[in-house]
Structure 1
Amino acid sequence: MTETTASAPVHEKAIRRGDSFTDLLLSWRLWWRHSVCASVNQADVIEQRREEAVISARYLFMLAMSAGIAVLGLLLSSPAVVIGAMLLSPLMGPIIGLGFSLATGDFGWLRKSAKALAIGTVISIGFTALIVALSPIQTVTEEIAARTRPNLFDLFVALFSALAGAYAMIRGREGTVVGVAIATALMPPLAVVGFGLATFNWTVFSGALLLYVTNLITIALTATVMARLYGFRTNLTHNQTRFQDIIVIAAFMGLAVPLGLSLNQIRKEALFSRQTSAAISDNFPDNARVSSIEIEFEGQPVGVVATVLTPEIAPRAQELVQRRLARFLGEPVAVSIEQFKVGTSATAAEEAQLAAARAQAQEATDREIRDLVELLALVAGVAEDDVLVDRDNRRALVNAAPLDGAELLAYRELEQRIARRVPDWSITLVPPARTLPEITVTEDGPDAEGQRSIELVEWAGTRIAAPIEVTGSDDDVLQVRRLLAANGLATVPKEGGSPGRVRLRWAPPDTPAVDLPREEDVEPRETP
């Protein structure tokens, strides 16, 4: 009896504490509904969101401009240009409209927003893919690579940015949306998707697409939650609202799984990089310096290439490092360590590091030359030993083998095509002595077609060591010879032929050239 009487006040106090918490929660909800939600002009907010979530001429124009700026910034690896594309942010309107229409149950608005978003996405990918396909630059830059491996942190960035953006739109603080557009970066990932499509790079394509979908879904669903939180009127029933909540949670969980796996992979790679650096350092003296470490995680097995400047060569270092890393990773690792013996002074180490850098630059140059020689030999139809390369002056020369059906124009186009691929080199492709074109001449000199023929003859004549026979009327021959002589070509005049057409052909290499007559020795042509 005593125990029951003693415990009764304790139980009553617990009930009172529970009642006070319930009252506090109820008062907070009343305050939120009457003081915060009531201060929002829902009709005005919805009207503004509707205007930004439809297809219009302005929307399509800003979409194309944003996509173009984004892909050019990515190709140039210019963060400033990429940020310029983020500032336009034409896709934010349909995405936020998607979120608000979900919250209010306005399925007509939902269809319009989804249509604008789908068309905008397709246009952006197609336009950026077209620019990349026409661009001479198609390398994966740092700005492109940064958007191919989304992780869980990207989800949180999109979440927090979307919370700020939805709040700014609801409370009428539109300026904040600019910062949200930069943080979520919708257009640059789409531009990377277009890059992956144009270059048939599935890794780039899929990684950037996952980042874009992550930002899109996170912003839309966060806008839905914020609209519900601020009490926007809805046409949904209680069961539909509960189903909507389940969909939102499931979507976030579905995104979190692959992004979490990606983040875990990045964590493993960072940990392996630290272990690699420690393993290499532990096998060399304290005054040794690790000049560079390159890790290829995509290879099978994982590859490690390192350069070490050390006062003492460690003959078993590569074997010991490989064994230690294989134990840590649980699978084979290919390790290559290049050691440079240096003195113990800091100056000697710096000099050795410079020497290693020069060696790497030399290796890159050698690789470039090998690729160029292989290309020239393939195009010219000769062996690689027949390609002459002047490394210091960056010049290359090759004598092309006769190709069936190929005229001089085809050889010139081949030379120009190679020159465009290696703009830092001077390329000379010597063609076989194929038939020279005729030159059509008027009283004022060669016509347009004749001028193009003259340019082709000049190109061939500077490469083939043989004089050129020029046959035609005296005046026409003289005009053509003077044009060719201006480029240092030796010519031999021949009589015959009708006026207005000059025939050219290669003379035997030992044929002596004929000097041009002086101006005063040439009789002026009589005017009829």
Structure 2
Amino acid sequence: MTSPTDDTASAAETDKARTGAFASRRPISRLTILRALVEVRMWWRDGVIADLDHVATIERVRGESLLTSRYIFMTAMSAGIAILGLLLSSPAVVIGAMLLSPLMNPILGTGFSLATGDADWLRRCGKALVAGSVFAILFCALIVYFSPLQTVTEEIAARTRPNLFDLLVALFSALAGSYAVIRGREGTIVGVAIATALMPPLAVVGFGLATFNWTVFGGALGLFITNLVTIGLTAALMARLYGFQSDMTHRQTRLQSMVMVAVFVSLAVPLGFSLRTIAWEANGQRIVNQEVAEAFTGRARVEQPIVNWAAEPVTIAASVFTPEFNPGADSEVAERLSQRLGRPVVVTIDQFQVGTDPGAAEQAALAQARVREAAEASERQIATLGQSVALIAGVARKDVMLDRENQTVQATAQPLAGLTLSGYRQLEQRLERTTPGWTVDLRPPLVALPEVTVSEEGLDDANTSRVALIGWAARRTGLRITLSGSESALAAVTQALGADARYIDTTTSGAGNTVTAAWSTAAGTVPD
């Protein structure tokens, strides 16, 4: 048996042990935290920063970030490869353009010049950036202008909707790139250039400029600016962290840091909203796929539904290959989706009955996918043609008439300052070249008609072209034109007009060899 004295001693020892354990778990004091921070700072200063050759690093970055002939040449080659890869929708070609792009160097130079407070270096980096960017945009626009391919491919569309993830990619790439430059490991820049993808957005900006697609233009420009600003500011912060000092006062340095943070926030907020919208649409697409599939048997094959989130109500179109029809599928799916999405929905499901063989639905779906791909490509081509005609004619899209059956597009052009009759015809011919198989009928305004000179040998090539232009103008407008000149000159011009002579009135005047053309005051139309 234990005595009361032993119990008392045991209890005292237990209390003492608990007190010691509590003492060992006391919160870390503020002084301890400050000492640890001071030690880390000293280690960073003496063990990391002290090993760097700041002067050599600055000179290396400065030499690679300025405007040179090599920089312009490599920018042009990178831009050309990028726009061709985007038009062909080839990721491999686009990656090749990223490898060549020299734009990362002046952006990093901008960051280091901000950190060191070198205003002259900052100005020269800015000059290189502006020159390279503008040159790349114009060079890409020139290629697209003369290219028969002017449709918005998947590779182009992917660079027109920047979001918060794009900012994070640029942030992490800038951290890696700055570290590689500071530590003398520039080989890493190749991977950074691929991750950040600076040149493809610029190429898409050029595409938007050449095709007058301002939605594409603005989205791609936003992505490029996001990458540019994020990389530049992150490089400045990294340079300052690694001890690249400036002549600025402590107050100026703190103000600069606050401005950098404010810029990051101003970029992150709208990009965050854009990411939220994209995430909501992606989740909505998954719900749509699920609900459409559940309306049919397990042997049915559902093609990817097409959802128009911008419409009100939301419109959904889907194709289903099924052994058994479901007559009430449209209303059934629409009701369930309206409840799950919280928005009114209109659903249109095209049902195609197939055999009961296990592979029948898959084979039918494959055939339908090929037909749909061809139809979508044709629709994109038609939409682009209608928009291009509207822009060139200076009218609204609704004023352009598209005849799909006869593959003809018509519009009446508005007068444009400085544009002659020949210019309107060249615009029409350019549109026809970009859309093979379609006939473009661009009705020109009633601008001045050219004069025709008939020599003793007849009409030379230049004057034959002028006669053809007069005939084209009369044919497009359907209005009569009066020709004035000597009898012999009028006979030569009328003969050259051929069938278009039915639009022509003639007035004999003088004995010269010049024929003038003017719109008839009666302005009567010629019946077909």
Q: TM-score normalised by the shorter chain: which range applies?
A: 0.5 to 0.7
Q: Is the 8 A contact 1:129 1:198 kept in 2?
A: yes
Q: Is the 8 A contact 2:148 2:433 kept in 1?
A: no
Change (3 A) 1:357 1:108: closer
Deviation at 1:102, TM superposition (A): 1.1
Tell me the equivalent position of 1:23: 35
Q: What are the superposed Cα offsets for residues 427-483 of structure 1, whole Å, 9 maximum, x if unpaired? A: xxxxxxxxxxxxx9xxxxxxx98xx99xxxxxxxxxxxxxxxxxxxxxxxxxxxxxx
Q: Distance in 2 between matches of 1:223 and 1:145?
A: 29
Q: Is the 8 A contact 1:99 1:222 kept in 2?
A: yes
Tell me the equivalent position of 2:314: 302
Q: Counterpart of 2:346 in structure 1: which amino acid?
A: A
Q: Counterpart of 2:436 in structure 1: which amino acid?
A: V
Change (3 A) 1:365 1:372: farther
Change (3 A) 1:198 1:361: closer
Q: Counterpart of 2:279 in structure 1: which amino acid?
A: R
SS at match of 2:248: coil
Deviation at 1:232, TM superposition (A): 1.1
Deviation at 1:91, TM superposition (A): 1.4
Tell me the equivalent position of 2:242: 230
Q: Is the 8 A contact 2:148 2:434 kept in 1?
A: no
Q: Is the 8 A contact 2:289 2:304 kept in 1?
A: no
Deviation at 1:98, TM superposition (A): 0.9
Q: Distance in 2 between matches of 1:99 and 1:231?
A: 14
Q: How does 1:353-392 map to 2 (within 5 A)?
A: 353-354=365-366, 356-357=368-369, 360=372, 373-375=405-407
Q: Distance in 2 between matches of 1:366 and 1:306?
A: 19
Q: Is the 8 A contact 2:91 2:155 kept in 1?
A: yes
Q: How does 1:426-505 map to 2 (within 5 A)?
A: none
- Asked if 1:153 is matched to 2:185, the reply is no
Q: Distance in 2 between matches of 1:125 and 1:230?
A: 35
Q: Is the 8 A contact 1:292 1:308 kept in 2?
A: no
Q: What are the superposed Cα offsets for residues 220-245 of structure 1, whole Å, 9 maximum, x if unpaired? A: 11111111111112212111111122
Q: Counterpart of 2:295 in structure 1: which amino acid?
A: N
- Asked if 1:76 is matched to 2:108, the reply is no
Tell me the equivalent position of 1:313: 325
Tell me the equivalent position of 1:482: none
Tell me the equivalent position of 1:118: 130
Q: Counterpart of 1:160 in structure 2: which amino acid?
A: F
Deviation at 1:164, TM superposition (A): 0.6
> Match for 1:94 among 106, 110, 129?
106
Q: Distance in 2 between matches of 1:211 and 1:200?
A: 18
Q: What are the superposed Cα offsets for residues 32-85 of structure 1, whole Å, 9 maximum, x if unpaired? A: 101110111000011111112222222222222222221122112122221122
Tell me the equivalent position of 1:192: 204
Deviation at 1:421, TM superposition (A): 3.6
Change (3 A) 1:235 1:360: closer
Q: Distance in 2 between matches of 1:117 and 1:362?
A: 41
Q: Distance in 2 between matches of 1:114 and 1:415?
A: 40
- Asked if 1:171 is matched to 2:183, the reply is yes
SS at match of 2:162: coil
Tell me the equivalent position of 1:61: 73
Q: What are the superposed Cα offsets for residues 179-206 of structure 1, whole Å, 9 maximum, x if unpaired? A: 1111111111111111112212122111
Q: Distance in 2 between matches of 1:96 and 1:363?
A: 46
SS at match of 1:422: coil
SS at match of 2:319: strand
Tell me the equivalent position of 1:422: 436
State the percentage of identical aligned residues: 54
Deviation at 1:31, TM superposition (A): 1.2
Q: Is the 8 A contact 2:162 2:271 kept in 1?
A: yes
TM (norm. structure 2) is 0.68
Change (3 A) 1:254 1:365: closer
Deviation at 1:372, TM superposition (A): 6.3
Q: How does 1:229-378 map to 2 (within 5 A)?
A: 229-354=241-366, 356-357=368-369, 360=372, 373-375=405-407
SS at match of 1:138: coil
SS at match of 2:303: strand
- Asked if 1:214 is matched to 2:246, the reply is no
Deviation at 1:422, TM superposition (A): 2.8
Q: What are the superposed Cα offsets for residues 462-516 of structure 1, whole Å, 9 maximum, x if unpaired? A: xxxxxxxxxxxxxxxxxxxxxxxxxxxxxxxxxxxxxxxxx99x9xxxxxxxxxx
Q: Distance in 2 between matches of 1:362 and 1:55?
A: 46
Query: Structure 2: any 5+ residue segments left out of the alignment?
Result: 1-17, 383-401, 412-424, 439-456, 466-494, 499-528
Change (3 A) 1:55 1:299: same
TM (norm. structure 1) is 0.68
Q: Distance in 2 between matches of 1:108 and 1:363?
A: 56
Q: Distance in 1 between matches of 2:432 and 2:198?
A: 38
SS at match of 2:123: helix
Q: What are the superposed Cα offsets for residues 281-322 of structure 1, whole Å, 9 maximum, x if unpaired? A: 222223322134222234443321111122221111101112
Q: Distance in 2 between matches of 1:311 and 1:84?
A: 47
Q: Distance in 1 between matches of 2:32 and 2:407?
A: 84
Tell me the equivalent position of 1:138: 150
Change (3 A) 1:356 1:125: closer
Change (3 A) 1:12 1:107: farther
SS at match of 1:374: coil
Change (3 A) 1:89 1:210: same
Q: Distance in 1 between matches of 2:113 and 2:173?
A: 19
Q: What are the superposed Cα offsets for residues 235-292 of structure 1, whole Å, 9 maximum, x if unpaired? A: 1211111112211211111111111111111111111111111111222223322134
Change (3 A) 1:228 1:7: farther
Change (3 A) 1:120 1:376: closer
Aligned residues: 409
Calculate the aligned-residue CA RMSD, in Å: 4.0
Change (3 A) 1:237 1:377: closer
Q: Distance in 2 between matches of 1:133 and 1:35?
A: 56
Q: Counterpart of 1:346 in structure 2: which amino acid?
A: P
Change (3 A) 1:116 1:378: closer
Change (3 A) 1:278 1:31: same
Deviation at 1:8, TM superposition (A): 13
Query: Structure 1: any 5+ residue segments left out of the alignment?
Result: 1-5, 380-410, 426-439, 441-447, 454-502, 507-528
Q: Is the 8 A contact 2:149 2:434 kept in 1?
A: no
Q: Distance in 1 between matches of 2:315 and 2:135?
A: 40
SS at match of 1:346: coil
Q: Counterpart of 1:276 in structure 2: which amino acid?
A: V
